């Protein structure tokens, strides 16, 4: 993937996420590892529904612009998982609500849509998505979450949002889309049971 291909795909992610209410008010950030190993990432503060290629920058390229304030979390995921080529961060109301109402993990079990997550081929399983406390100290979030990841393709920051990743931008998008749908399904189930 070239920088231009990555930038165009991340712009498309922003349009899709914003249209679905997963990137309100400039929130969220998106990155991809391009073929030469460098990281393309959204600049800080961009409106994710109205981005152009110019809102994506390369780290380590002497670019004077400010990359996402949460760049360190993207880099930590790339360091931990060499096969990962994209990290995406959403701010969706339902998963944020679910995270605030949950404990240390969001355990998802028995859903067919779990098969959208890498390496899962049956509904008859469960996946624990770690939830860590929010902080304006991004290094503190990194220290709290990285030892807890295991095989999870995502984590949640309480009262903040979700991070998901994959071996391509499409796979990372599928992880976020599946988890956001699963959060909606859990909310619907809780309402029916109430
Ligand atoms: C606009 S509130 C959300 C931000 O504080 C932050 O959490 C976020 O997701 C976007 O930060 P950014 O620096 O634009 O990548
Ligand atoms: Zn955020």
Ligand 1 probe mutation, 14, 25, 69, most atoms within 8 A of CB: 69
Name the residue with the closest Cα to ligand 1, atom 6: 27
| 116-175 tens-digit pLDDT | 999 999 999 999 999 999 999 999 999 999 999 999 999 999 999 999 999 999 999 999
Is the ipTM here above 0.95?
yes
Question: Taking 90 as the threshold, does the pLDDT of residue 61 lie above it?
Answer: no
- Are 32 and 10 in contact by the 8 Å Cβ rule? The answer is yes
What number does the ligand 1 atom closest to the CA of 29 have? 15
Tokens of 13: 């992610």
Mean pLDDT of all residues in 50-57: 98
Greatest alpha-carbon span in the chain: 55
Quick one: which atom of ligand 1 is closest to the CA of 25? 1
On whether the CB atoms of residues 90 and 23 are closer than 8 A, the answer is: yes
Region 110-114: what's the mean pLDDT? 98
Distance CA 160, CA 96 (A): 6
Domains and CATH numbers, the chain: 3-193 (3.40.225.10)
How far is residue 86's CA from residue 10's CA, in Å, rounded to a whole number?
Answer: 9
């Amino acid at each position: 993937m070239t920088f231009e291909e990555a930038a165009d795909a991340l712009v498309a992610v922003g349009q899709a996420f914003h249209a679905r209410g997963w990137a309100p008010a400039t929130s969220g950030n998106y990155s991809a590892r391009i073929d030469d190993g460098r990281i393309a990432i959204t600049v800080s503060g961009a409106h994710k529904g109205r981005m152009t290629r110019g809102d994506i920058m390369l780290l380590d390229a002497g670019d004077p612009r400010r990359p996402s304030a949460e760049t360190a979390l993207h880099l930590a995921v790339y360091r931990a998982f060499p096969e990962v080529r994209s990290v995406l961060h959403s701010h969706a109301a339902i998963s944020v609500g679910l995270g605030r109402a949950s404990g240390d993990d969001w355990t998802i079990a028995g859903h067919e849509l779990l098969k959208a997550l890498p390496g899962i081929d049956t509904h008859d399983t469960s996946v624990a998505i770690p939830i860590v406390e929010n902080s304006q100290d991004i290094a503190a979030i990194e220290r709290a979450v990285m030892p807890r990841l295991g095989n999870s393709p995502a984590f949640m920051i309480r009262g903040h949002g979700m991070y998901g990743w994959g071996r391509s931008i499409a796979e990372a998008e599928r992880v976020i889309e599946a988890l956001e749908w699963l959060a909606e399904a859990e909310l619907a189930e809780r309402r029916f049971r109430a």
